[in-house]
Structure 1
């Protein structure tokens, strides 16, 4: 089984550290990428870390993961609550999927309480800040072992 992990980030995460730091913290996406790369190396995983603001690009990346990546960690951000197309793409992917949210979506606005992606995810991590990414990588490494 492939030890390659696609770590995919959705819209507005390029603004991490600048946008609503009282909700999302002060770490940047580059900080997250560095921490995830270090941990992935320690866990014997190969990491492909990406971010986009475009729904179709996330879908294309999930399609690319088919037959290539052993697992997917995804923070779909706002698309969690709106994108059946993203759910459909994940359902066509056969490996494990871990969904990550930096904030606790269940303590926020009502519309954020539902995630289409969660219907497909093998695990959901929410409210652990950017540490959620590291927890997701640890879980994925366990599933791929």
Structure 2
């Protein structure tokens, strides 16, 4: 049974660089779903659990940091696929530390089965949890997790 869409607050999903090309860029690795498809799937899953969805993508580190600052005290949970910033951005990590809700790091591919430089994440050490290798289903698993641990209804 679906809950009232505003009963449990807002889940924020942030997507980093190149994820705007989802479905077009290396579909053998990242699949055929577009970012728009993923946004719809996430919104539907969140709605079933009584959450609103705030879904964003940027190729710019500062824009992602500003988004984190804007929601750090108000979101019910934050899901981030930092893309290439995973392996390079201490600044993104430092912004995520300030989020008062659970933070989940999601990667579409299994980063540990790829190039060695992808094995290190500045985000994993401060994240509540990490999901990788499940394709875009990893985002839906993250929403399901947040629904279970943050339910207020």
Q: Determine if the TM-score, normalized by the shorter chain, exceeds 0.5.
A: yes
Residue of 131, 134, 137 corresponding to 1:128: 134
Confirm or deny: 8 A CA contact 1:3 1:144 kept in the other structure: no
Confirm or deny: 8 A CA contact 1:2 1:68 kept in the other structure: no
Deviations 1:18-56 (A, max 9, x none): 000110011100110111111111011110000000000
Q: Which runs of 5+ in 2 are unaligned?
A: 1-6
Tell me the TM-score normalised to structure 2 length. Answer: 0.92
Q: CA RMSD in A?
A: 1.1
CA distance in 2, matches of 1:71, 1:65: 9
Alignment of 1:40-79 (within 5 A): 40-79=46-85
CA distance in 1, matches of 2:37, 2:18: 15
Paired residue total = 145
Q: Which runs of 5+ in 1 are unaligned?
A: none
Tell me the TM-score normalised to structure 1 length. Answer: 0.97
Residue of 22, 26, 29 corresponding to 2:32: 26
| Cα deviation, residue 139, structure 1 | 0.6
